[in-house]
Amino acid sequence: MQTVKHNINIHEVGLRDGLQIEKQLVPFEKKMGWINRLFASGIKKIQLGSFVHPVKVPQMSDTDRLFTDVLKSGKKPENVILSGLVLNEKGLDRGLACGVEMFCMGVSASNTHSVKNTGMSTTEALGRIITMAKRAVSESKRVQVSVQSAFGCGYEGLISKNQVIDIVKSYLDAGLLTISLADTAGYAFPEQVTDLFGAIIELDNNIEPACHFHDTFGTGIANCFTAYQAGVTCFESAFGGLGGCPFTRISSGNVCTEDLVYLFMRQGLADLPDLEKLIELTRDIGQHLGRELSGRLYKTGLPNILKGF
């Protein structure tokens, strides 16, 4: 298959999906430092956190303050979008109050995962998310809606393609065009990625497809490349490959941002983040957490072959 080159956007979710399962709380000041280094790297979309109950996810207890202080600091480049994840109306209220620029919200195609993650069935969550998304749009906010467990569920196993398509159709009917398919359990494989993204892109030519893959079984980068070939334009990833959903059966890391940027750099794509700055940041994060992370490039450094890129 010949790859058609198109503009892509890296959505860095390390501060949210990367840190949410970390038991060692990262100090607010340290997070602020990492955010400023992400700005310097050229990442254009950064998820600062999620608006969840601090008892359930203590690592996210400073999300409101992060948005407020980052926006007040004046250090955010104009072309950078700050996103936040919301699960319910209260989270949306908090996000609107502290200046979230892009709201991410979604529904799991797995009813079991939906209940564990949000306390709501898939059907109930879908109605509430669409109402929330419309409210955010009415407040002139960007909105990305997602289908979680789109490629399989750690509890239910295979997820019907039609279940995913039905949720996407509901989003499109509501006028929501930025849609992410999330591989929450890490079950996706390239052929499935081609099929599912091809199906949703056919539904509406104006759709803005995004993807969120986990590397639970080692197929994350392959799935990202396949999604790129299928026409996906936005890729969610986390520095060092950190993270995982705490409400799925096996919590495993995201696709690593540095490794993903390297992949697209080798494809000859332009306007990518500064890979050396990302590697330096990830090394600092690994030192702070006191362990080796799952990413590869931050361990090996830049290969000599990149001198021609």
pLDDT digits (tens, 9 = 90+) for 1-49: 445 567 899 999 999 999 988 888 999 999 999 999 999 999 999 999 9
State how far the Cα of 239 lies from the Cα of 242, in Å rounded to an integer.
6
Distance CA(244)–CA(185), nearest Å, equals 9
d(CA 266, CA 279): 16
Contact between 37 and 73 under an 8 Å Cβ cutoff? The reply is no
Q: Are 102 and 137 in contact (CB under 8 A)?
A: no
pLDDT given for residue 118 in this prediction: 78
CA distances from 110 to 34, 91, 125, 153, 248 (A): 34, 22, 11, 6, 11
User: Which residue out of 98, 211, 224, 245 is catalytically annotated?
Assistant: 245
pTM attached to this predicted model: 0.93
Look at residue 156 and give its three-state secondary structure.
coil
Q: What is the mean pLDDT of residues 296-301?
A: 91
* pLDDT tens by residue, 61-100: 999 999 999 999 999 999 999 999 999 999 999 999 999 9
Residue 245 designated active-site: yes
Closest CA to 62 of 75, 51, 76, 78: 51
Cα 196 to Cα 53, 82, 152, 161, 184: the distances in Å are 33, 28, 12, 7, 15
Q: Are 62 and 41 in contact (CB under 8 A)?
A: no
* The domain defined by 9-308 carries CATH number 3.20.20.70: yes
For residue 50, which amino acid is it? S
pLDDT tens digits, 122-167: 999 999 999 999 999 999 999 999 999 999 988 888 889 999 999 9
Nearest to 147 by CA among 199, 102, 98, 100: 199
pLDDT in tens, 241-280: 998 555 444 446 899 999 999 999 999 898 999 999 999 9
